[in-house]
Structure formats: C-alpha cells, structure tokens
C-alpha cells in the first residue's frame, strides 16, 4: 500500500492542462454512457482534490499500512493506530466534497448515475448528497467493539480521548506539519504515552468501522454491490487503480455480463485490459466536463 505525503494545510494544485486527446476521450465517454444507468465506483483518487492524499498515484510515497492481524494481535499496535488516528481523523472530517463529487450529484440529477460504490472511507459522497452510496470499506465516522459490536460515533469518542491525551497531542503538534494518510491517520512513531479506552460494555478492543487490510468486506455489502452492478448498464470507475479485489471483482463482473466499463484514473489500473475506454486524467476535471456536456 502506498500513500502520498501531505500536510494538514494541504491545498490542491492547479488542474493539469486539457489537451485535444482528452477532449476526444471525454466525448467518447459521453457517447458510451449517455442514456444508460451508470454505477460510479470510486477510489482514493476521487478525493485528492478535497485534500485527502491517495494511495497509488504516480507521485505516491510508500508507507506500510496496519493490517487487521497486527491490530488484533497487540495492545501496543492498537495504541499506535489510535494515536495516529486521534491526530488525523479531524483532517478527514473537515474535508469537503470537491467538484468531482458535485459533478456526480449533477449526473445523478440528469439521470445518468444511478448510484455510487466507493472504496473510500471519507464520507465525501454522503456530504455531496450522492445517493445511494455503498461504502465498501466502511467509514471513519463510526467506531465499534470487535467483540460485542457496541458502537460509538467518532465525534463522541473524541470527546473522551481528548482530555486523556492533551499532553500527547500538544507534544506531537509542536513539531509542525504532520504527514496525513487517506484513511484518517497520520505518520507518528512515538505513541507509547497515548491513552486509549476499551469497550465500556465488555472490555473488548475498539476499532473504526473500516475494513482493514487483510480483512474481508462483509458479505451483505458485497451482495448489495453486485445487485447495483446488475441493475446498471455501465460502470464508471473513478480514481481507483483496482489493485484490491474488493473493487476489481465488480468491474470484472460488469465486463462478464456485457456492461460498458469506463475508467478514469491517473496511471495504470488492473481493469485497463477490459475497459471500453480509459481516461488517464484527474477525476474532478473529467467529471465536471462530462456533467456539463451531458
């Protein structure tokens, strides 16, 4: 897994130049998708213009993620995760939908996009008013007990953790800019003094309602994803390299069942060989122009 480096005050760069080939490809996408029910399937590249770094863009910097096995194996690993999340989750919470998310809202209003399947945990599709939205990997806004299933909102948990960790937060923030990752955490190594709570109901470990690396997407979620694909005529992949099977399987299913596949992503994807059209460009730019031309 790779993630781009960012600071808490990260500002999106200027849009890349639009060339003649891009004009032609957007026209082709419009022709392929117009008059059809389209499911948008989005990945981390969809949210970069909202200040949330992605995983596998051409300029990404390698950084090892925490797997579900690591998280469950050790109190120290869990403390380390929650310390990073404590410092980073409000960066994600403060993020606003970018013009790509808003373009999907417009494409839904026009009747083209029938729903969204997202690999992102940032809730930006919800904030933008996209509906329905299937969150394949969960979202950062809920926390649950791995043993009994007790739940609490991330905002409510913050009110408990903040007074317990005032000194920890002040110590880390005194260093200046912090590297932010796409899944609501930051790059911090010295976390031994962070205080975390356990489930108040059973004493079990608390975990974000996010599908970790090495963890399976719940079967009902997968089934709903297949249903959304089956009810559509086409799939529009946005900002995903389709590296993980949780997203790739839906694109392969769409291809096997004769549906149109259009991919918009910076760089190579695992679905390029089955796509009817691939556009190597920023999602926000392509979607904005597609919505204007529809």
Catalytic residue list:
137
Contact 283, 46 (CB under 8 A): yes
Q: Which residues contact 249 (CB under 8 A, 6 or more apart)?
A: 222
Between CA 146 and CA 169 the distance in angstroms is 26
3-state percent helix, strand, coil for the chain, nearest multiple of 5: 40, 15, 40
Cα→Cα distances 76→68, 73, 80, 133, 173, Å: 14, 9, 6, 34, 21
Between CA 168 and CA 171 the distance in angstroms is 5
Residue 148 labeled ligand binder: yes
> How many angstroms separate the most distant Cα atoms in the chain?
61
Query: Where does residue 30 rank: exposed (0-12), middle (13-18), buried (19+ CB within 10 A)?
Result: middle
Residue 199 labeled ligand binder: yes
The alpha carbon dihedral of 294, 17, 277, 40 has a sign of negative
The alpha carbon dihedral of 278, 235, 17, 180 has a sign of negative
Residue 144 labeled ligand binder: no
- Of 122, 239, 96, 124, which is closest to residue 185 (Cα–Cα)? 122
Residue 202 labeled ligand binder: yes
Specify binding-site residues for Zn(2+).
145, 148, 199, 202
Specify binding-site residues.
145, 148, 199, 202
């Amino acid at each position: 897994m790779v993630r781009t480096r960012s600071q808490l005050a990260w500002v999106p760069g200027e849009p890349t130049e639009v060339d003649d080939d891009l004009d032609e490809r957007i026209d082709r996408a419009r022709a392929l998708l117009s008059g059809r029910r389209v499911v948008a399937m989005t990945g981390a590249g969809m949210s970069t213009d909202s200040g949330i770094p992605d995983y596998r863009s051409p300029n990404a910097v390698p950084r090892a993620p925490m797997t579900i096995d690591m998280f469950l194996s050790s109190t120290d690993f869990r403390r380390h995760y929650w310390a990073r999340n404590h410092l980073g989750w409000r960066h994600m919470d403060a993020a606003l939908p970018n013009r790509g998310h808003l373009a999907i809202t417009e494409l839904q209003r026009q009747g083209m996009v029938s729903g969204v399947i997202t690999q992102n945990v940032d809730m930006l599709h919800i904030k933008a008013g996209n509906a329905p939205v299937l969150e394949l990997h969960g979202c950062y806004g809920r926390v649950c007990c791995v043993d009994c299933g007790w739940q609490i909102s991330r905002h409510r948990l913050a009110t408990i953790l903040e007074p317990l960790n005032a000194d920890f937060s002040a110590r880390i923030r005194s260093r200046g800019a912090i590297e932010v990752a796409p899944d609501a955490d930051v790059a911090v190594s010295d976390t031994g003094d962070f205080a975390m709570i356990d489930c108040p109901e059973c004493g079990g470990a608390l975990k974000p309602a996010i599908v970790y690396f090495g963890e399976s997407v719940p079967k009902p979620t997968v089934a709903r994803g297949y249903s959304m694909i089956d009810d559509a005529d086409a799939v529009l992949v946005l900002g995903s390299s389709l590296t993980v099977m949780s997203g790739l399987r839906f694109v392969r299913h769409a291809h096997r069942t004769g549906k149109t596949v259009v991919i918009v992503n910076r760089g190579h994807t695992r679905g390029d060989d089955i796509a009817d059209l691939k556009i190597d460009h920023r999602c926000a730019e392509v979607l904005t122009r597609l919505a204007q031309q529809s």
